[in-house]
Amino acid sequence: KPRVVAGRSAIEGTGAFAASALSARRKIGELDGELVSVRTARARARGRKRVHIVEFDARHALDATCLLY
């Protein structure tokens, strides 16, 4: 099981960091949200200070922003 610790992040204030080396493609957590188009995700992100969006390809994105605030 990978060791992950919380620490100070210049991006968000607090972040999750690997405390030891991780192998490529190693799963350390799960992110849930709404599957939307990239166009919709980018429109939702516009003007926001914080977003939690992952773009998978040119058409699909996961928007987890609404679940966190």
For residue 61, what are the β-bridge partners? 36, 55
pLDDT tens-digit series, residues 26-66: 888 888 999 999 999 999 999 988 888 999 999 999 999 87
Residue type, 13: G
Q: What pLDDT does residue 28 have?
A: 82
The residue length of the chain stands at 69
Q: Reply yes or no on whether the pLDDT at 68 is more than 60.
A: no
Residue type, 32: D
pLDDT band at 67 (very low <50, low <70, confident <90, very high): low
